[in-house]
């Protein structure tokens, strides 16, 4: 009994005629109980647990659909396979909307019933077994790949593959390989940091480089405007690639989606990476062209992205697109988002919507400060789940549906991602140093170069030079900076929280999705 493959209740008014089918299932290892009417079935499921119910649709008294309603009231997750003589479409619709696992049509043979039961009861276990086999093969392949001379596209492929496994393991929570996957991601991030140290400076000098933050408008928005089509540049602050892939099925129900990628500028923080999207220039040039931006950064103003609309307007002028009408909107709260949604029709006459959404970034920052959010977002799985849940029920999804209906193209990207920090690293700095957890700038900055990129000549990295003897330190992998006299304070506040500003796959490699209305496909 304990070795049973499952406990099945078969409900059919002609159950005695199904003896060969029942014997076949019992020989395959299933335990069966049988009743010949719906009332007895309902009474029985209130007393006993059944893994699966085989339910005839056409029975005297209560028919199968009526019985199904009562079964679901008793246990909504109850697995039910319905068997019917009729092929009427209305019945198919009823069965589908009533969450029937399968709908089989009579006559059914024993093998057909067995395969249906096996699929219903064992698909999760079989999926886990396949995922385990496939990941162990991929584990070896990725490790071998790390020994090669990888280019940016290779790194994106590896990162994208690792995220697919994270999403797969979210689905199969009991697979037991999460820790191995996390260790492999850490290994990849060590190699990725070396890759960035070797490659990043060269990217700043050459035209044949991977997409950087500065290239988004030129390479993705400008071609759409040149075709006289309407475009929404949607920047979801701090959105990681795994967040994007978790909501991709929802987006694909509305749009035709082409996914590319870019590297965030260093440091992977708003004043550098996001402002560069809108300005199309590197941070050193930006502070020279816009002195007020330099002043804000030097004085740590409350907002370091106040001029994004001006940046975008000036960038479009450079491409002779100054005649295009723009509406820029930054949304940091739900009520503001709902107001924007309610007024969306007012903006449809514009050529460009530039929309910045701060929810994901706020979630990352607040998760290190609020006990409740620490419970809700304890790890990457929780973070993905929170972002997906927000998006599914958000004003933003309603806005995207409206834009799709009006034949807009969406360029969706992020300024940077974030990483869950684990490794505290001591840093020495003058009093005037910036307060970042993953990056700092100021005088006399010093830390272990094993854990951080130390920049003594900011101009080589196209970074602003503030004050005398300017320098930057940028954390690698999952490190975060602490001061010697405040170690425990920083550990308690930041360890295991999501931060950005440093060098990691999660922070630097973000998606760029061009999403076209499906109306274009008709």
CA distance 139 to 187: 11
pLDDT of residue 452: 96
Q: Tell me: the pLDDT tens digits for 91-150?
A: 777 777 777 888 898 889 999 999 999 998 988 788 888 889 999 999 999 999 999 999
pLDDT of residue 368: 58
Mean pLDDT confidence for 359-364: 81
pLDDT of residue 1: 42
CA distance 148 to 182: 21
238, 381 Cβ separation under 8 angstroms: no
For the record, the structure tokens of 71 come out as 């079964």
Backbone φ, ψ for residue 266 (5° rounding): -95, 140
pLDDT of residue 429: 84
Q: Tell me: the pLDDT tens digits for 133-164?
A: 999 999 999 999 999 999 999 999 999 999 99
Secondary structure letter of residue 462 according to DSSP? T
CA torsion sign for 318, 322, 324, 327 is: positive
356, 216 Cβ separation under 8 angstroms: no
513, 245 Cβ separation under 8 angstroms: no
Residues near 471 by Cβ (< 8 Å), separated by ≥ 6? 441, 442, 443, 444, 445, 454, 455, 456, 458
pLDDT of residue 374: 67
Q: Residue 522: pLDDT above 60?
A: no
Question: Of 245-249, 286-290, 331-335, 354-358, which gets the smallest average pLDDT?
Answer: 331-335
Q: Residue 172: pLDDT above 60?
A: yes
In order, the DSSP letters of 117-174 are: HHHHHHHHHHHHHHHHHHHHHHHHHHHHHTTS---HHHHHHHHHHHHHHHHHHHHSTT
Residues near 99 by Cβ (< 8 Å), separated by ≥ 6? 72, 80
pLDDT of residue 484: 80
For the record, the structure tokens of 239 come out as 């959105």
Backbone φ, ψ for residue 204 (5° rounding): -70, -10
Q: Residue 330: pLDDT above 90?
A: yes
Q: Tell me: the pLDDT tens digits for 260-319?
A: 999 999 999 999 999 999 999 999 999 999 999 888 888 777 777 889 999 999 999 999
Tokens 């900076």 -> residue: 481
Q: Tell me: the pLDDT tens digits for 15-38?
A: 999 999 999 999 999 999 999 999
CA distance 223 to 20: 66
For the record, the structure tokens of 326 come out as 């723009």
Question: Of 54-58, 69-73, 350-354, 516-520, which gets the smallest average pLDDT?
Answer: 516-520
Q: Is 29 exposed, middle or buried (0-12, 13-18, 19+ CB in 10 A)?
A: exposed
48, 74 Cβ separation under 8 angstroms: no
CA distance 106 to 86: 8
Q: Tell me: the pLDDT tens digits for 379-394?
A: 888 889 989 999 999 9
- Exposed e or buried b for every residue in 373-398, given b needs 16+ CB within 10 A? beeebeebbebbebbbebbeebbbbe
CA distance 170 to 191: 25
**3-state SS assignment for residue 85:** coil
What long-range pairs does 309-315 form, CB within 8 A, spacing at least 24? 309/278, 309/354, 311/275, 311/278, 311/279, 311/280, 311/286, 312/217, 312/233, 312/278, 312/279, 312/352, 312/354, 314/279, 315/217, 315/218, 315/278, 315/279, 315/280
Strands 471-475 and 439-442: antiparallel
341, 395 Cβ separation under 8 angstroms: yes
Q: Tell me: the pLDDT tens digits for 394-422?
A: 999 999 999 999 999 999 999 999 999 99
For the record, the structure tokens of 267 come out as 């440091």
Residues constituting the chain = 522
- Could you give the C-alpha distances from 400 to 18, 234, 261, 330, 411, in angstroms and in order? 52, 10, 21, 16, 11
215, 252 Cβ separation under 8 angstroms: no
Q: Tell me: the pLDDT tens digits for 188-206?
A: 999 999 999 999 999 999 9
Residues near 367 by Cβ (< 8 Å), separated by ≥ 6? 373, 374, 376, 377, 383, 497, 498
Q: Residue 251: pLDDT above 70?
A: yes
Q: What share of the chain is helix, strand, coil (3-state, %, to 5)?
A: 50, 20, 30
Within 13 Å, how many C-alpha atoms sit on residue 310's CB side? 8
């Amino acid at each position: 009994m304990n070795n049973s493959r499952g406990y099945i209740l078969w409900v059919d008014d002609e159950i005695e005629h199904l003896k060969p089918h029942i014997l076949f299932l019992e020989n395959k290892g299933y335990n069966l109980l049988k009743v010949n009417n719906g009332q007895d079935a309902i009474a029985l499921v209130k007393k006993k647990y059944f893994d699966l119910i085989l339910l005839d649709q056409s029975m005297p008294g209560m028919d199968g659909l009526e019985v199904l309603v009562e079964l679901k009231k008793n246990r909504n997750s109850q697995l039910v396979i319905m068997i019917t003589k009729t092929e009427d479409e209305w019945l198919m619709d009823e069965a589908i909307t009533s969450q029937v696992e399968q709908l089989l049509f009579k006559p059914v043979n024993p093998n057909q019933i067995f395969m249906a039961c096996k699929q219903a009861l064992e698909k999760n276990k079989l999926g886990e077994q396949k995922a385990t086999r496939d990941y162990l093969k991929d584990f070896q392949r990725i490790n071998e790949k790390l020994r090669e001379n990888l280019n940016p596209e290779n790194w994106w492929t590896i990162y994208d593959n690792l995220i697919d496994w994270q999403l797969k393991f979210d689905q199969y929570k009991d697979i037991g390989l999460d820790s191995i996957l996390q260790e492999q991601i850490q290994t990849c991030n060590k190699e990725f940091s070396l890759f960035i140290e070797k490659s990043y400076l060269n990217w700043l000098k050459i035209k044949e480089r991977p997409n950087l933050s500065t290239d988004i408008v030129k390479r993705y928005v400008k071609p759409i405007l040149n075709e006289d089509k309407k475009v929404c540049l949607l920047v979801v602050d701090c959105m990681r690639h795994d967040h994007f892939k978790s909501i991709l099925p929802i987006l694909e129900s509305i749009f035709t989606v082409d996914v590319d990628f870019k590297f965030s500028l260093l440091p992977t923080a708003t004043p550098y990476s996001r402002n560069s999207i809108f300005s199309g220039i590197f941070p050193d040039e930006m502070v020279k062209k816009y002195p007020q931006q330099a002043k804000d950064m030097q004085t740590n103003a409350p907002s370091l992205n106040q001029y994004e609309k001006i940046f975008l307007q000036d960038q479009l002028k450079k491409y002779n697109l100054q005649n295009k009408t723009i509406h820029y909107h930054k949304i940091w709260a739900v009520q503001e988002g709902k107001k924007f949604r309610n007024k969306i029709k007012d903006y449809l006459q514009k050529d460009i919507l530039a929309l910045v959404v701060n929810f994901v970034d706020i979630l990352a920052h607040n998760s290190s400060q609020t006990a409740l959010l620490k419970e809700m977002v304890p790890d990457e799985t929780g973070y993905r789940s929170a972002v997906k849940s927000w998006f599914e029920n958000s004003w933003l999804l309603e806005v995207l549906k409206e834009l799709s209906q009006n034949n807009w193209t969406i360029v969706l990207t992020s300024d940077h991602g974030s990483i869950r920090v684990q490794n505290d690293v001591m840093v020495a700095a003058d009093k005037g140093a910036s307060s970042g957890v993953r990056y700092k700038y100021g005088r006399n900055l010093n830390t272990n170069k094993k854990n951080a990129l130390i920049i003594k000549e900011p101009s080589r990295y196209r970074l602003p030079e503030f004050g005398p003897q300017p320098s930057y330190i940028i954390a690698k992998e999952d490190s975060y900076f602490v001061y010697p006299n405040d170690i425990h304070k920083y550990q308690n506040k930041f360890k295991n929280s999501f931060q950005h500003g440093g060098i990691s796959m999660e922070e630097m490699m973000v998606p760029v999705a061009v999403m076209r209305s499906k109306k274009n496909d008709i």
